Amino acid sequence: MALVDECIFCKIIRGEIPSFKVWEDDKTFAFMDINPVAKGHALIVPKFHTPNIYEAPQEWLGPTLGAVGRVARAVRDEVQPDGMNILQANDKGAAQSVFHIHFHVIPRIVDDGLTMNWDMVPGDMDEIDKLAEKIAAHTASE
């Protein structure tokens, strides 16, 4: 594992900051976004600190995308949305706010009006906690 001290997602991976974890293996970690843009919004990160897609080593991207698929299927099964976007932002022009590469799993509903950028509004933590448990059960049973 190659994590750094000052990164918020590295702290989450190390368990220094709490998170609603839905998946973890030796190379990847997934947790609910605490500012969800949709019910079931989750984040998947490698256990390797790298800021973006340009710098991410290939050997970390493969396992991370594998975990993205696993979590996406789990969120789909639990939330049953009309569709799903996988989003990954690079640099400020793309509204990246945390500089540890991460993939958003964003469930979509027809005509939900979501756009590529969104306001950071904290979700209902009890609701996120309960949903995380259900999604984690799906990811574990794959």
Number of shown-chain residues binding ligand DGP (CB under 6 A): 15
Q: Is residue 31 a contact residue for ligand DGP (CB under 6 A)? A: yes
Q: Which of 5, 54, 58, 97 binds ligand DGP (CB under 6 A)?
A: 97
Q: Which is nearer to ligand DGP, 2 or 95 (CB)?
A: 95
Sign of CA dihedral 14, 15, 20, 22: positive
Does the annotation count 102 as an active-site position? yes
DSSP letter string, 1-49: -B--SS-HHHHHHHTSS---EEEE-SSEEEEE-SS-SSTT-EEEEESB-
Query: Binder to ligand DGP among 3, 34, 61, 86 (CB under 6 A)?
Result: 34
Kindly name the residue from 41, 49, 100, 102 that is annotated as catalytic: 102
Among residues 24, 63, 65, 96, which is the contact residue for ligand DGP, using CB under 6 A? 96
**Per-residue CA distances from 29 to 6, 103, 108, 115 (Å):** 18, 11, 23, 26
Q: Does 125 bind ligand DGP (CB under 6 A)?
A: no
**Count of beta carbons in the 10 Å neighbourhood of residue 77:** 15
Sign of CA dihedral 123, 86, 90, 92: negative
* Binding range to ligand DGP, per CB under 6 A, among 30-38, 59-67, 72-80, 105-113: 30-38
Shortest distance in whole angstroms from residue 87 CB to ligand DGP? 7
Q: How many CB atoms lie within 10 A of CB 73?
A: 15
The binding site for ligand DGP (CB under 6 A) comprises 8, 17, 19, 31-35, 43, 89, 95-98, 120
Catalytic positions: 102
